């Protein structure tokens, strides 16, 4: 069997996944699971950067389960991929320290992501672990010796940093790491309010696990063209969240084009456009719900996947750490 190249990507366990996550990231994982050996990391140590309170940490276990179940529900095959819990891979802590001299404080301070995160968390000063979080991410990527890292555009700079660390390590101590490549995936999905990207915290999300009644309520409450106060006034399709969702989730392109044409001409009401979107979303969610029910009925399965996946990731991590220490000249293991 030829060895497949490896992927490392992951999620911070902040809660269940919504349509925005699906569009921006998780739909791409479906296509990648057949071609690559995939490690999907539940990046709980990354929670310590902006959510270090004990109550946030205690929520990790349930959030991790929810995220894994969401993966299975969209069609990720548990036999093909490895789910792993970052905080239980002890080698992560080791590698982060061992590579931390290969990058400067100035380089980290220049990353816009750090400033953005500090601002979003209302920090006046930057904690040490927030500044160092791209180095932790580098350790995540380098431990399984991943070749490809699917990330959103905003995280591309962190993969670049990881490449720099890997090159410097290989030059200084000997070839241990493949130089990972970023695979920029994306597309941003606007929230149901049409104001900002879909996000849990903004209460403008439709979750992959929402039931029919919730989806209906969310869709019927969506913002459309604010200038259109009556159905017979021509409306704007561009930037209108209802049509953005139709474009993503309604496979009946003829219906979507017909709705757009009638909307522009002032010949269709918001209610019909939303009713049809609701039906399209229900069709999209139907197989997701079916798989969710199937996997949920297998008691303990998700915990077992996380446990066994983490063991497997640890074995890889241990082998890497051994190589790293040997290359560096450390004799104790």
Residue 197: strand pairing partners: 190
- Binding residue for ligand ATP, selected from 152, 194, 234, 269, defined by CB under 6 A: 152
Contact window for ligand ATP (CB under 6 A) among 20-28, 106-114, 171-179, 207-215: 20-28
Q: Are 249 and 282 in contact, with CB atoms under 8 Å apart? A: no
CB of 189 to ligand ATP, least distance (A): 4
Task: Determine, following the binding rule CB under 6 A, whether residue 23 of this chain makes contact with ligand ATP.
Answer: yes
Nearer to ligand ATP, 206 or 256 (CB): 206
CB of 132 to ligand ATP, least distance (A): 18
Q: Is 169 exposed, middle or buried (0-12, 13-18, 19+ CB in 10 A)?
A: buried
Tell me the C-alpha distance between 140 and 333, whole Å. Answer: 20
Task: Determine, following the binding rule CB under 6 A, whether residue 209 of this chain makes contact with ligand ATP.
Answer: no
Residue number of the CB atom closest to ligand ATP: 24
Contact window for ligand ATP (CB under 6 A) among 15-23, 72-80, 140-148, 281-289: 15-23
- Binding residue for ligand ATP, selected from 69, 149, 189, 208, defined by CB under 6 A: 189
Contact window for ligand ATP (CB under 6 A) among 19-27, 127-135, 164-172, 304-312: 19-27
Nearer to ligand ATP, 18 or 145 (CB): 18
The CA–CA distances, whole Å, from 61 to 14, 77, 197, 212, 302 equal 10, 21, 26, 27, 11
Nearer to ligand ATP, 78 or 150 (CB): 150
Task: Determine, following the binding rule CB under 6 A, whether residue 200 of this chain makes contact with ligand ATP.
Answer: yes
Would you state the structure tokens that stand for residue 326, as one six-digit string?
Answer: 């040997």
Tell me the C-alpha distance between 204 and 218, whole Å. Answer: 8
Would you state the structure tokens that stand for residue 249, as one six-digit string?
Answer: 């989730």
Nearer to ligand ATP, 110 or 188 (CB): 188
Tell me the C-alpha distance between 195 and 200, whole Å. Answer: 14
Helix (H, G, I), strand (E, B) or coil at 37: strand
Nearer to ligand ATP, 189 or 305 (CB): 189
Tell me the C-alpha distance between 8 and 91, whole Å. Answer: 16
Nearer to ligand ATP, 197 or 217 (CB): 197
223 dihedral zone (left: phi>0; alpha: psi -120 to 50; beta): beta
CB of 199 to ligand ATP, least distance (A): 4
Task: Determine, following the binding rule CB under 6 A, whether residue 16 of this chain makes contact with ligand ATP.
Answer: no
Tell me the C-alpha distance between 161 and 224, whole Å. Answer: 41
- Binding residue for ligand ATP, selected from 109, 110, 171, 188, defined by CB under 6 A: 188
Tell me the C-alpha distance between 182 and 147, whole Å. Answer: 9
Nearer to ligand ATP, 151 or 256 (CB): 151
Q: Are 33 and 76 in contact, with CB atoms under 8 Å apart? A: yes
Task: Determine, following the binding rule CB under 6 A, whether residue 69 of this chain makes contact with ligand ATP.
Answer: no
Task: Determine, following the binding rule CB under 6 A, whether residue 201 of this chain makes contact with ligand ATP.
Answer: yes
The CA–CA distances, whole Å, from 238 to 68, 103, 260, 275, 315 equal 35, 44, 10, 19, 50
CB proximity list for 34: less than 8 A, separation 6 or greater = 80
Task: Determine, following the binding rule CB under 6 A, whether residue 20 of this chain makes contact with ligand ATP.
Answer: yes
Residue that the structure tokens 């992951």 belong to: 10
- Binding residue for ligand ATP, selected from 6, 7, 8, 12, defined by CB under 6 A: 12
Task: Determine, following the binding rule CB under 6 A, whether residue 195 of this chain makes contact with ligand ATP.
Answer: no
Give me the residues that bind ligand ATP (CB under 6 A), please: 12, 14, 18, 20-21, 23-25, 152, 188-189, 197-201
């Amino acid at each position: 069997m030829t060895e497949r190249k490896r992927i490392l990507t992951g999620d911070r366990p902040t809660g269940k996944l919504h349509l925005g996550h699906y569009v921006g990231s998780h739909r791409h994982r479906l296509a990648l699971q057949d071609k690559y050996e995939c490690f999907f990391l539940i990046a709980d140590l990354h929670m310590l950067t902006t959510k270090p309170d004990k109550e946030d940490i205690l929520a990790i276990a349930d959030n991790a389960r929810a995220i894994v179940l969401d993966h299975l529900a969209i069609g990720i095959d548990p036999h093909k991929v490895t789910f792993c819990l970052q905080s239980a891979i002890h080698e992560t802590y080791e590698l982060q320290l061992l590579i931390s001299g290969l990058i400067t404080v100035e380089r980290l301070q220049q990353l816009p992501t750090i400033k953005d995160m500090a601002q979003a968390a209302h920090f006046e000063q930057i904690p040490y672990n927030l500044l160092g979080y791209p180095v932790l991410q580098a350790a995540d990527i380098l431990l399984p010796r991943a070749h490809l890292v699917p990330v959103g555009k905003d995280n591309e700079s962190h993969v670049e940093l990881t490449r720099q660390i890997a090159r410097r390590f290989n030059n200084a101590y000997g070839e241990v790491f493949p130089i990972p490549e970023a695979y920029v995936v994306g597309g941003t999905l606007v929230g149901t309010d049409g104001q900002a990207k879909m996000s849990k915290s903004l209460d403008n999300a439709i979750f992959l696990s929402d039931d029919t009644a919730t989806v209906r309520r969310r869709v019927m409450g969506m913002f459309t063209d604010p200038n259109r106060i009556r159905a017979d006034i021509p409306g704007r399709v561009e930037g209108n969240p209802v049509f953005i969702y139709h474009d993503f989730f309604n496979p009946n392109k003829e219906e979507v084009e017909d709705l757009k044409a009638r909307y522009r001409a002032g010949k269709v009401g918001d209610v019909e456009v939303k009713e049809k979107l609701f039906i399209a979303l229900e069709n999209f969610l139907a197989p997701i719900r079916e798989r969710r029910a199937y996997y949920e009925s297998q008691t303990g399965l998700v915990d077992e996947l996380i446990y066994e996946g983490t063991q497997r990731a640890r074995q890889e991590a241990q082998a890497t750490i051994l190589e790293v220490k040997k290359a560096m000249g450390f004799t104790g293991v």
